Amino acid sequence: MTEIIVAEPVAVFTGVGKSFVAGKRRVEALRGVSARLRAGCVTGLIGPDGAGKTTLMRLLAGLLKPDAGEIHVLGQDVIGEPLRVQQSLGYMPQRFGLYEDLSVQENLDLYADLQCVAHAARPERYAELMHMTGLAPFTHRLAGQLSGGMKQKLGLACALVRSPKLLLLDEPTAGVDPVSRRELWEIVYRQVEQAGMSVLFSTAYLDEAERCDDLLLLHQGQLLGQGKPAEFSSRMQGRIFNVSNGSESRRRLQQQLVQQESVLDALIQGEAVRLVMHEGRSPQGEVWAKGLKIEQAAPRFEDAFVAMLGGVGAIAPEAVHAAATVTAKNGPVIEVADLSRNFGEFQAVKSIGFHVERGEVFGLLGANGAGKSTTFRMLCGLLPASSGSLTVAGMNLRDAPASARSRIGYMSQRFSLYGTLSVLENLRFFSSVYGLSGKGRRARIDWAFERFDLHDIADTASDDLSLGYKQRLAMAAALLHEPDILFLDEPTSGVDPLARREFWQRINLLAEQGVTVLVTTHFMEEAEYCDRLVIMAEGSILASGTPQAIKQTAAATGEKVATMEDAFIALIQREAA
Amino acid sequence: MISGMRMRGLMRKEFLQIWRDPSSIAIAFVLPVLLLFIFGYGVSLDAKHVPIALVVEQQDAATASFTGAFRKLDYFAPLPFANMRDAEEAMREGEVEAILHLKSDFGRTIFQPGGAPAQLIVNGVNANTARLISGYATGVWATWLQQYAALNARSFNVPVMVQSRVWFNSELKSRNYLVPGLIAVIMTLIGALLTALVVSREWERGTMESLMATPVSMSEILLGKIIPYFLLGTGGMLLSVAMAVWLFGVPLHGSFFLLFGVASLFLLVALGMGLLISTVAKNQFVASQIALVVTFLPAFLLSGFIFEIASMPQVVQFITHIIPARYFVALLHTLFMAGNIWSVIVPNTLALAIMALFFMGLVWRISRKRLD
């Protein structure tokens, strides 16, 4: 590859600081960030939720004024001359920013007017954009009636209508299905290659970092590093291993390995457990490594990211959990057959069927709008089914008595906490809702504090908690009444990679104790952590089985399948064909 | 600098959105028509066919002529009662709103010095109706006296005679002042409530953010809202005036162009308030609550549209001075029912102009093309 020498960076920020007042707290969104964005390439802005990615984007677009520091974009001072910068800027905010009651064409017209694109130049540009995004057949459809992926592509088309010099994309792939994600990346790269555009692309998906030419790593408002993806991962060379053993379950193996002091991170991947070792350590020669099949693996950006943030501590298994006393009856705990749900004309769930065994971690995998949440709400008895049958622990929760419902725990997508109540008050409230009182209640609240390490934040209002802590508290609340079935709806959405790892450790421990866990997710790699799963798209089940079986099914299509995401895309393409 | 292309784009977008959004249509068209019908046909503050008990102790020519005068008019529906006890019972049960009691010596004493007593008892629960009934009854009484005297070629021994005439709204129809006043309410609805809602919706849905990242200037964004809703508000005003004049037969004594001018001025005030609210409240729920409390309710209650400002407590009267609708309602009442009375028009128009400048100036000052 020939290195293009670029004299001028496309954006320069020096010592940029920005803070906001949120409620009573002052949040430092960015602290002393200095960096240069290279021209003519895709720079990834990587960081967990709340790292300051959106603030940085808005500062570049001239939508915020920094408290400290200077920002120059395309040679102009953004703070002083925002309008001039905005003339050569394309910006796509996190929430589409489309007018949902305007059609695709009307949205394009609006942005062409706002960018003062000459009428004569429009037909050609429109045709190009519509062809590129695949939206040509839908120009008269209202933007609100497009799928999530198509909305993102339209948003991108609107930002590109005048072929900007710098394109700012704020988490354009969040919650978008893997196929659309790949398409979005292709469009972005075409702009860079053909029009010489510079792109800043923020994302919470660590696997997307590898697609960027350059990376900015943000964490808690600070720049942890800048460099090419390979520069980050090469630091991890020799510290990554795939470990497997024939007999034991992957989950138990992962649990064991993550407790070892020389291990920084352990993740289930495929049939093996992927280890990130502490610097200078190797599994060879460790006592616990005896009898395990160990292979060195190529490092990824994610390994470097976790290592830079210090890894996750292991959670010790509980000695005795009351739920473990559930008599281990065999047979399915959840059974779904021919289940459908219509909203008017729209069929959200199309006669699906699956079953879940006791103590299983069962995943519902799919992009936003695939019908996961609808299925979930029917299972929890929150939404009546249009047709079909479903039983949870032998009953239909829709007409089950409260006593039966007390056997399930539910954690909703938005965590459903009372924002103005403190952590302790939330736990007290939820325990009383589940009918706990007196000594039993006190014991369970103590358990939650101990187990989820909430002591330091007992008196903090839950609105003021970080997303990771909110998730912990929500999970604690869902477990107060010791349910033997746990429903988790997108529990890790928007939560940073470290908190997600910790969360999955807890789920694994629960499953070991005999709790049946049903979880929805749109993170494809999380599918690997499930015992079995179904992949949903547009209301139907595309495949079901163990992660390995699903990959094999997908591989039968002839595509090269290495990850769950590959499998997902292969299955979608087979469905479309 | 304002670009024609950008302005056209913004305005076209706004009209498409108004047209496609059922709630905009409801606020801009359905609600005004509904209000006009309610106040034009439904609500009436007039007394009409009020049931009234007649207790006549001694029937004779004079009493027959007197009660006949009551029967002739639309205002009352007289019901004869044999004695006071029955009449009082009927009033207690709410069957009649008033009792007219003529003593047995009515016919005999009428031409004597001191005159004949006629007793009127009015149910005062609804103070407004009570005042109307006693007013009408006194009017009927005075008119009858004159006619009766002329008929009998006699004169009464009455020192002062009140001759009352009603000016400006000679038929005393409440509709004639309710319907013009309603125009102020309708324009507040479109100018302030709808504008606050649509702008806060842009914040809520994140479209404002992507709008601001384009080279559009804040003035263009503001004008892109003001012009469409100004036109919509003007439409609402024309519709209201048309319905008032042609459907409800409200006379328009003043100049139409003058009316159009002051209405435009008021619309600017309302738009300014709406935009100001939406810069403070960036979600639809809060914006609509503020708009209702700060603009709509005062326009309804404190503008003189229904309730006479002069009869409000001092403190409330003082507050009405900061309610823009107050000045507009005064202008509407004057222009519709009295004509071009410059001594009313000039000060009220001036007040509206100052308020329009104040709100628009404030909006331009505090609106920044930034998210913080």
Taking 50 as the threshold, does the pLDDT of residue A200 lie above it? yes
pTM (two decimals): 0.80
Contact A116 B215 (CB under 8 A): yes
Taking 60 as the threshold, does the pLDDT of residue A121 lie above it? yes
CB atoms within 10 A of CB A473: 23
Rounded CA gap, A411 and A558, in Å?
Answer: 38
Residue of B nearest to A160 (CA): B214
Contact A115 B214 (CB under 8 A): yes
Taking 50 as the threshold, does the pLDDT of residue B159 lie above it? no
How far A492 CA sits from the closest chain B CA (Å)? 24
Rounded CA gap, B317 and B300, in Å?
Answer: 14
Mean pLDDT: which of A389-403, B77-91, B153-167 is highest?
Answer: B77-91
> For chain A, what percent of residues have pLDDT higher than 90?
28
Half-sphere exposure of A281 (CA within 13 A, CB side): 15
Locate A288 and state its tokens: 């616990």
How far A101 CA sits from the closest chain B CA (Å)? 6
Model pLDDT, residue B309 = 85
Model pLDDT, residue B353 = 97
Domains of chain B by residue range: 4-43+174-366, 50-151
Question: CA quadruple A232, A233, A237, A243: dihedral positive or negative?
Answer: positive
Strands, DSSP E only, in A481-553? Answer: 485-489, 516-521, 532-537, 540-545
Q: What is the mean pLDDT of residues B230-255?
A: 90
Q: What is the mean pLDDT of residues A264-272?
A: 82
> Which of the pair, A112 or B41, is modelled with greater confidence?
A112
In the sheet that A25-37 helps form, which strands lie side by side, from edge to edge? A25-37, A11-22, A68-73, A76-77
Taking 80 as the threshold, does the pLDDT of residue B166 lie above it? no
The B-side interface with A (CB below 8 A) comprises: 3, 5-6, 8-10, 12-13, 16-17, 20-21, 205-207, 209-217, 369-372
Q: Which of B142, B97, B92, B143 is nearest to B120 (CA)?
A: B97
Confidence of residue A123 (pLDDT cuts 50, 70, 90): very high
Model pLDDT, residue B262 = 95
From chain A, the residues in CB contact with B207 under 8 A are: 97-99
Locate A167 and state its tokens: 């394109």
Question: CA quadruple B159, B165, B171, B172: dihedral positive or negative?
Answer: negative
Q: Cα dist. B108→A183, B81, B103, B160 in Å?
A: 105, 21, 10, 22
Q: What is the pLDDT of residues A57-75, one digit of tens each?
A: 999 999 999 999 999 999 8
Interface contacts (A, B; CB < 8 Å): 96
Q: What is the mean pLDDT of residues A344-349?
A: 85
Residue of A nearest to B216 (CA): A114
> Which of the pair, B263 or A237, is modelled with greater confidence?
B263
From chain B, the residues in CB contact with A106 under 8 A are: 13, 16
> Which of the pair, A96 or A475, is modelled with greater confidence?
A475
Taking 70 as the threshold, does the pLDDT of residue B156 lie above it? no
Q: What is the pLDDT of residues B39-89, one digit of tens each?
A: 887 766 666 788 888 888 888 888 888 888 888 877 788 888 888 888 888
Q: Could you tell me the domains of chain A?
A: 11-232 (3.40.50.300), 233-308 (3.30.70), 322-407+485-576 (3.40.50.300), 417-482 (no CATH)
Taking 50 as the threshold, does the pLDDT of residue B185 lie above it? yes
Model pLDDT, residue B26 = 85
CB atoms within 10 A of CB A194: 9
Of A185-194, A434-443, B5-14, the least confident: A434-443
Model pLDDT, residue A538 = 84
Q: What is the mean pLDDT of residues A191-213?
A: 89
Taking 80 as the threshold, does the pLDDT of residue B233 lie above it? yes
Model pLDDT, residue A1 = 44
Contact B369 A101 (CB under 8 A): no
Taking 50 as the threshold, does the pLDDT of residue A370 lie above it? yes
Could you give the angle at which helices A423-433 and A438-451 cross, rounded to 10 degrees? Answer: 130
Amino acid (one-letter) located at B120: L
Q: Provide CB contacts within 8 A for B344, sequence distance 6+.
A: B330, B331, B334, B338
Q: Could you identify the residue written with the tokens 């010099």?
A: A165
Average pLDDT, chain B: 86
Confidence of residue B155 (pLDDT cuts 50, 70, 90): low
Evaluate whether A184 touches A152 at the Cβ level (below 8 Å). Answer: yes
Identify the three-state secondary structure at position A198.
Answer: strand
Taking 60 as the threshold, does the pLDDT of residue A321 lie above it? no
Confidence of residue B123 (pLDDT cuts 50, 70, 90): confident
Of A361-375, A394-408, A501-515, the least confident: A394-408
Model pLDDT, residue B158 = 55
Model pLDDT, residue B228 = 94
Asked whether the ipTM of the predicted complex exceeds the cut of 0.95, the reply is no
Beta bridge partners of B98: B52, B122
Taking 50 as the threshold, does the pLDDT of residue A51 lie above it? yes
How far A104 CA sits from the closest chain B CA (Å)? 12
Contact B214 A62 (CB under 8 A): no
DSSP A432-459: HHTT--HHHHHHHHHHHHHHTT-GGGTT
From chain A, the residues in CB contact with B19 under 8 A are: none
Question: CA quadruple B143, B145, B148, B154: dihedral positive or negative?
Answer: negative
Taking 70 as the threshold, does the pLDDT of residue A340 lie above it? yes
Model pLDDT, residue A248 = 63
Q: Which of A110, A122, A163, A200 to mutate to test the interface with B (most CBs of B within 10 A)?
A: A110
Taking 70 as the threshold, does the pLDDT of residue B170 lie above it? no
Model pLDDT, residue B109 = 77
Taking 70 as the threshold, does the pLDDT of residue A329 lie above it? no
How far A95 CA sits from the closest chain B CA (Å)? 6
Q: Which of A172, A564, A546 is nearest to A360 (CA)?
A: A546
Locate A73 and state its tokens: 């974009």
> For chain B, what percent of residues have pLDDT higher than 90?
36
Contact A95 B371 (CB under 8 A): no
> For chain A, what percent of residues have pLDDT higher than 70?
94
Of A333-337, B38-42, B347-351, the least confident: B38-42
Residue of B nearest to A57 (CA): B213
From chain B, the residues in CB contact with A84 under 8 A are: 215
Model pLDDT, residue A247 = 64
CB atoms within 10 A of CB B8: 13
> Which of the pair, B359 or B89, is modelled with greater confidence?
B359
Name the residue among B6, B13, B372 with its Cβ closest to that of A65: B372
How far A420 CA sits from the closest chain B CA (Å)? 19
Name the residue among B205, B213, B217 with its Cβ closest to that of A61: B213
Model pLDDT, residue B161 = 54
From chain B, the residues in CB contact with A20 under 8 A are: 372
Helix, strand, coil percentages in chain A from 3-state DSSP, rounded to 5: 35, 25, 35
Q: Which of A504, A414, A407 is nearest to A462 (CA)?
A: A414
Half-sphere exposure of B281 (CA within 13 A, CB side): 21
Model pLDDT, residue A326 = 47
Confidence of residue B172 (pLDDT cuts 50, 70, 90): low
Rounded CA gap, B92 and B89, in Å?
Answer: 5
Confidence of residue A262 (pLDDT cuts 50, 70, 90): confident
Name the residue among B6, B20, B206 with its Cβ closest to that of A95: B206
How far A119 CA sits from the closest chain B CA (Å)? 10
From chain A, the residues in CB contact with B13 under 8 A are: 99, 102, 106, 110
Q: What is the pLDDT of residues A287-315, one digit of tens each?
A: 787 778 888 888 888 888 888 887 776 67
Average pLDDT, chain A: 85
Model pLDDT, residue A401 = 67
Contact B17 A109 (CB under 8 A): no
Pick the CATH number of B50-151 from 3.40.1710.10, 3.40.50.1980, 3.20.20.60, 1.10.1740.10: 3.40.1710.10
